[in-house]
A = this chain, B = another copy of it.
Amino acid sequence: MFRFFYFLLSISLFSYSQDSQNIESQIKSFYDHSLTSGKSYEWLEHLSNQIGGRLSGSLNAERAVQWSKEELESLGLDKVWLQPVMVPKWVRGNFEYASIESSTGNSINVSICALGGSVATPNRGIRAEVIEVKSFVELKKLGVDKIAGKIVFFNRPMDPTKINTFSSYSGAVNQRTEGAEEAIKLGAKAVLVRSMNLSNDDFPHTGSMYYGSVKLKDRIPAAAISTNGANLLSSMLKLDPKLKFFIKQNCQNYPDVLSYNVIGEIKGSEFPNKIILVGGHLDSWDLGDGSHDDGAGVVQSMEVLNQFKSLGVKPRHTLRVVLFMNEENGLRGGSKYANIANKKREDHLFALESDAGGFTPRGFSFDSSDSEFDKIKSWKKYFKPYLINEFTQGGGGADIGPLKSTGTILSGLRPDSQRYFDYHHSSQDTFDAINKRELEIGAASMSSLIYLVDIFGF
Contacts and interface: CB of A to CB of B under 8 A. Distances in A.
Interface of A: 31-32, 35-36, 160-161, 163, 165, 198-199, 360, 362, 385-387, 389-390, 416, 418-419, 422, 435-438, 441
A68 B422 CA distance: 30
B389 A163 contact: no
Contacts of A419: 435, 437-438
Contacts of A160: 35-36, 437
A30 to B, nearest CB: 11
Given A418-B438, A418-B441, A422-B435, A32 B161 contact: yes
A165 B419 CA distance: 20
A441 B36 contact: no
Contact of A362 (B163, B387, B422, B435): B387
Contacts of A362: 387
Contacts of A385: 163
A243 B198 CA distance: 53
Nearest to A199: B436
A36 B161 contact: yes
Contacts of A441: 163, 418
Nearest to A421: B437
Residue from A390, A418, A435 with most neighbouring chain B CB atoms (10 Å)? A418
A437 B198 contact: yes
Given A387-B362, A387-B390, A31 B438 contact: no
B435 A386 contact: no
A247 to B, nearest CB: 29
24 contacts: A31-B161, A32-B161, A35-B160, A35-B161, A36-B160, A160-B437, A163-B385, A163-B386, A163-B387, A163-B441, A165-B437, A198-B437, A199-B436, A360-B360, A360-B416, A360-B418, A362-B387, A389-B389, A389-B390, A418-B438, A418-B441, A419-B437, A419-B438, A422-B435
Contacts of A198: 437
Nearest to A436: B199
A50 B198 CA distance: 25
A26 to B, nearest CB: 15
A36 B157 CA distance: 12
A310 B214 CA distance: 50
A165 B441 CA distance: 12
Contact of A418 (B32, B36, B199, B435): B435
Contacts of A436: 199
Contacts of A31: 161, 163
A163 B34 CA distance: 12
Nearest to A29: B161
